[in-house]
Structures are given as structure tokens and as C-alpha cells.
């Protein structure tokens, strides 16, 4: 896979290059900021872009703005955004911009330390999945708990919903929770019914529908940073 990286930290940038190339991918460019991002994307035609949320010169939201711009200009291009902390406003901005667009990932940088999990996430995003960091999902779910429909979910259904939002398949959810796939399917059917969402056999559309529902709580006005 052809991958473009936009990350200001030299150590992390070079580390990502090494990890991805060792996994058999080709890093077509590794940029320290978003100044030449559009031109480089056009010149290198990557199959996935990895961007840091905070980039020079202000280290506030350059990366997220670059990701949103890419999403608008090239809606089918898979994006993976890396963040130091859980920043709900930025995650929500991406989710709301997602709509029916291409694959999306939002992960904490700590996930890179688990090489196999990170490489798997990269592959899942590139293949069409939406992958959100478990901590981001947890905060979105917590904020959504005030909704009567969310309160109607059982504890087990909330757990399954969180795993769905992370992009996990029914088989992976079953393995995680030590349940049969049939039990997981029953939980998912109940979740969609209680949330007023139509079940869908497409894993990506299933995630997008769930996250769209969660993001409708109006998270755009909030921003939190949870240090790990």
C-alpha cells in the first residue's frame, strides 16, 4: 500500500516509516507539516494518509483542518488521524464530515506502540473500515448516555455498541466478550432497534450509522483532552 505521513515529530515520523515499510508498505512521502500536503498528495497518489492532529506552526488544529480539507477534496481517500489525547471536538468534526465518504481512522498515538494492532488498524482503514480509538468511543458514548434511547440499552448492549464503533467485526466482538456469534448478532439487532437504526450487513456502513447517531449529541461545541 502507498502511504503518505504528515507528522511533525521526527522520532514518530521516522518510526512510522520504519514500521510501515517493515510491514511491506511503501511510504511515498513523510512530511513535517501540512504546507505542501495537497501538492504532495496529488503528486504521489497515496492509498492512505496518516496525519497528526496538531501540526506547525501553531500546533492547534492544522492537522485536523488538513484532514477535513482532504476529505472534502478527495472524499474516497482513506485517512488515519493520530492524536496525543482524546479530543472530542476534533473527533466529532471528522465524524460529522464523514457522512458517506471514504474510510476513516482516529487513534491515540499510544496505539502505535502495539505494532501488530496498529498495522492491523492501518489495513482495516485502507480496506474500507472506520476505526475509532476505544477511548474516543468511550467518551462519545458517555456524552450520549443522556439520550433516552441510549439509556434503554443494557450494559452488555453498550459494550457491544462500543466495540461496533471501534470497527470490530461480529467475530471479533464475540471473541472479545467470550460470546457466540449468534449472541452478538442478537445484541446488535436489539441495539439497532432501540436506537432506531436499520441493521446493515456492511461493516463500514454499520459503524458510520452508529457513529453518526452518537455524534448527533452536538459534540462540536466541546473539546476535552484526557492525558493518558
225 located within any domain: no
Same structural domain, 72 and 109: yes
4 sits in which H/E element = strand 2-6
The most distant pair of C-alpha atoms in the chain lies apart, rounded to whole Å, by 51
Residues 161, 60: Cα–Cα separation, whole Å: 31
Same structural domain, 64 and 83: yes
pLDDT (average), residues 182-195: 88
Same structural domain, 34 and 122: yes
226 located within any domain: no
Over 60: is that where the pLDDT of 57 sits?
yes
Pairing of strands 79-83, 130-132: unpaired
71-75, 90-94, 120-124, 172-176 — which is least confidently predicted? 90-94
Domain boundary among 132, 151, 175: 132
Over 50: is that where the pLDDT of 228 sits?
no
Residue pair 81/105 in contact (Cβ under 8 Å)? The answer is yes
Over 80: is that where the pLDDT of 212 sits?
no
Domain that holds residue 18: 2-132
pLDDT at position 131, please? 85
Same structural domain, 86 and 155: no
CA 133 to chain centre: 6
Quick: pLDDT tens for 143-168. 655 566 677 889 899 888 888 877 78
Same structural domain, 67 and 168: no
DSSP label of 226:
B
pLDDT at position 218, please? 43
CATH number at residue 98: 3.40.50.2300
Domain boundary among 82, 107, 132: 132
pLDDT band at residue 227 under the 50/70/90 scheme: very low
**What percent of the chain is predicted at pLDDT more than 90?**
43
179 located within any domain: yes
pLDDT (average), residues 200-204: 51
pLDDT band at residue 225 under the 50/70/90 scheme: very low
Residues 122, 47: Cα–Cα separation, whole Å: 11
CATH number at residue 200: 1.10.10.10
224 located within any domain: no
pLDDT at position 215, please? 56
Same structural domain, 162 and 126: no
pLDDT (average), residues 189-205: 67
pLDDT band at residue 59 under the 50/70/90 scheme: confident
221 located within any domain: no
Count of domains for the chain: 2
Same structural domain, 114 and 181: no
79 located within any domain: yes
Same structural domain, 6 and 106: yes
Please return the burial class of 146, using the count of CB atoms within 10 Å of its CB with bins 0-12, 13-18 and 19+. exposed
pLDDT (average), residues 21-33: 97
Residue pair 79/105 in contact (Cβ under 8 Å)? The answer is yes
Amino acid at each position: 500500500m502507498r502511504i503518505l505521513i504528515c507528522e511533525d515529530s521526527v522520532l514518530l515520523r521516522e518510526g512510522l516509516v520504519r514500521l510501515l515499510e517493515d510491514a511491506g508498505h511503501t511510504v511515498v512521502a513523510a512530511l513535517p507539516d501540512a504546507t505542501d500536503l495537497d501538492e504532495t498528495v496529488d503528486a504521489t497518489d497515496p492509498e492512505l494518509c496518516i496525519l497528526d492532529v496538531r501540526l506547525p506552526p501553531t500546533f492547534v488544529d492544522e492537522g485536523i483542518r488538513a484532514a477535513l480539507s482532504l476529505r472534502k477534496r478527495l472524499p474516497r481517500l482513506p485517512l488515519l488521524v493520530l492524536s496525543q489525547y482524546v479530543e472530542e471536538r476534533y473527533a466529532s468534526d471528522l465524524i460529522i464530515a464523514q457522512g458517506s465518504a471514504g474510510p476513516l481512522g482516529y487513534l491515540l498515538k499510544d496505539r502505535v506502540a502495539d505494532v501488530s494492532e496498529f498495522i492491523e488498524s492501518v489495513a482495516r482503514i485502507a480496506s474500507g473500515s472506520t476505526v475509532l480509538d476505544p477511548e474516543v468511543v468511550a467518551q462519545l458514548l458517555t456524552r450520549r448516555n443522556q439520550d433516552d434511547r441510549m439509556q434503554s440499552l443494557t450494559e452488555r448492549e453498550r459494550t457491544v455498541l462500543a466495540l461496533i464503533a471501534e470497527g470490530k467485526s461480529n467475530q471479533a466482538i464475540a471473541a472479545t466478550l467470550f460470546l457466540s456469534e449468534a449472541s452478538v448478532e442478537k445484541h446488535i439487532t436489539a441495539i439497532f432497534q432501540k436506537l432506531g437504526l436499520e441493521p446493515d450487513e456492511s461493516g463500514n456502513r454499520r459503524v458510520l450509522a452508529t457513529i453518526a447517531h452518537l455524534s448527533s449529541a452536538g459534540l462540536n461545541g466541546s473539546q476535552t483532552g484526557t492525558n493518558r
